[in-house]
C-alpha cells in the first residue's frame, strides 16, 4: 500500500469560550504544517495481537491509534476489521514530537481511521469518521477533515474550513513534555476569562497572516500563560507563537529565512 501522511498542526489562535461539563469549549484556528508529518502504513505480521510498530513513549493500550481502532470496531462491528489486524501491524515513522501541541497523536489516529476506511472498504463518510474520532481526542476531527486551515469550535467537534493561503512555519520544540490536562486545570483555576461569541466570531473571520502580524502571542493563546505558570522550565521565545498547550513554538518561515 502507499503510505499515508499524518500532518502536524499549529494553533494560530486558541481562545476559551466557556465550559461544557469537565471540558472547556474553544474557538481556534488550526493550520496544517505541511513539512512535518508522521508516515503510516500496514504490513503483514504473524501474531494475532494488535501491534503498532514505531518509536512511541506509551504502551499500545494508551496509543491513540489503538483507541481509534477500538472505537472503529465498536462503531462498525466489522469482522473484516478484526481479521485484518490479526494479520497486519500498523507501522508509524514518527517525526512529530509527542506532548508538544502539534497534534501528532490525534493526526495519527485520524489518518489510521482513513486508512482503515479506504483499505477495507468500510463505507464510512467523513462525518461518520469524525464522530468516531471525537471519542479518541478533541483534535482528531480537524485531522479527519483534512483541511489546510479551519476554525475549530466546541470541544473540537465543530470544524469549518477557512479559505486562505497556506503558510510556511518554522517549529521549535523544547525538550519538555507538557500535560494538556495540567495546563487546562491551571487555566480554569487561576486564569479563566472566556471570550464572548462576538469576539470569537471576529477572530474566526480574520486571516491567519493578519493575526500573526498583529497579535501578541500571549493574547493569541489562552493556554500560553497557563503553561508558563505550570512549567518553570518553559521560557518565552520572543517573536514566536505557542501552539495548543505546548510545548512547541512557531513563527512564519518566510519572514525570517527569506
> Residue 201: which domain range?
169-257
List, for the chain, all residue ranges whose pLDDT scores fall below the cut of 50. Answer: 255-258
Catalytic-labelled residue, pool 38, 108, 139, 222: 139
Boundary (domain end) residue, out of 108, 130, 161: 161
Closest alpha carbon to 93 in 123, 54, 60: 54
Domain match, 237 and 204 both: yes
Catalytic-labelled residue, pool 9, 15, 67, 222: 9
Domain match, 34 and 114 both: yes
Task: Report the alpha-carbon distance of residue 152 to residue 162 in Å, rounded.
Answer: 10
Domain match, 131 and 207 both: no
Domain match, 209 and 182 both: yes
Domain match, 155 and 176 both: no
Domain match, 65 and 173 both: no
- Determine whether 139 is an active site residue: yes
* Positions of E strands within 138-207: 149-154, 158-161, 169-172
Instruction: Tell me if residue 151 falls in helix, strand or coil.
Output: strand
Domain match, 156 and 174 both: no
Domain match, 179 and 116 both: no
- Name residues whose C-beta falls within 8 Å of residue 158's C-beta, 6 or more positions apart in sequence: 152
**pLDDT tens profile 121-140:** 999 999 999 999 999 999 99
Domain match, 238 and 201 both: yes
- Determine whether 121 is an active site residue: no
Domain match, 37 and 141 both: yes
Domain match, 133 and 184 both: no
Residue 143 near residue 5, CB atoms below 8 Å: no
- The confidence score (pLDDT) of residue 22 equals 85
- The confidence score (pLDDT) of residue 59 equals 81
The residues that bridge with 242 in the sheet, in sequence order, are: 249
- The confidence score (pLDDT) of residue 21 equals 86
- The confidence score (pLDDT) of residue 56 equals 85
Cβ neighbourhood burial of 2 (10 Å; 0-12, 13-18, 19+): exposed
pTM (2 d.p.): 0.94
Structurally, how many domains does the chain consist of?
2
- The confidence score (pLDDT) of residue 258 equals 42
- The confidence score (pLDDT) of residue 254 equals 67
In sign, the C-alpha dihedral spanning 227, 232, 233, 237 is positive
Pairing of strands 158-161, 149-154: antiparallel
Boundary (domain end) residue, out of 104, 130, 161: 161
**pLDDT tens profile 55-82:** 887 888 899 999 999 999 999 999 999 9
Amino acid at each position: 500500500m502507499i503510505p499515508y501522511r499524518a500532518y502536524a498542526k499549529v494553533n494560530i489562535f486558541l481562545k476559551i469560550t466557556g465550559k461544557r461539563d469537565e471540558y472547556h469549549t474553544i474557538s481556534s484556528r488550526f493550520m496544517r504544517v505541511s513539512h512535518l508529518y508522521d508516515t503510516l502504513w500496514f504490513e503483514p505480521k504473524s501474531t494475532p495481537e494488535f501491534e503498532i510498530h514505531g518509536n512511541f513513549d506509551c504502551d499500545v493500550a494508551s496509543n491513540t491509534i489503538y483507541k481509534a481502532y477500538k472505537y472503529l470496531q465498536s462503531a462498525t462491528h466489522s469482522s473484516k476489521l478484526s481479521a485484518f489486524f490479526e494479520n497486519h501491524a500498523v507501522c508509524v515513522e514518527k517525526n512529530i514530537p509527542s506532548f508538544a501541541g502539534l497534534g501528532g497523536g490525534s493526526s495519527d489516529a485520524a489518518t489510521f481511521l482513513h486508512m482503515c476506511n479506504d483499505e477495507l472498504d468500510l463505507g464510512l463518510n467523513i462525518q461518520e469518521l469524525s464522530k468516531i474520532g471525537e471519542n479518541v481526542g478533541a483534535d482528531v476531527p480537524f485531522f479527519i477533515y483534512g483541511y489546510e486551515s479551519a476554525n475549530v469550535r466546541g470541544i473540537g467537534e465543530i470544524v469549518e474550513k477557512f479559505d486562505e493561503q497556506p503558510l510556511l512555519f518554522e517549529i521549535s520544540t523544547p525538550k519538555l513534555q507538557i500535560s494538556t490536562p495540567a495546563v487546562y486545570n491551571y487555566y480554569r483555576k487561576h486564569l479563566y476569562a472566556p471570550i464572548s461569541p462576538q469576539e470569537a466570531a471576529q477572530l474566526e473571520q480574520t486571516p491567519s497572516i493578519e493575526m500573526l502580524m498583529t497579535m501578541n502571542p500571549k493574547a493569541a493563546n489562552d493556554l500560553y500563560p497557563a503553561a508558563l505558570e505550570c512549567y518553570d522550565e518553559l521560557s518565552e521565545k520572543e517573536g514566536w507563537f505557542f501552539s495548543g498547550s505546548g510545548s512547541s513554538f512557531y513563527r512564519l518561515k518566510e519572514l525570517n529565512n527569506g
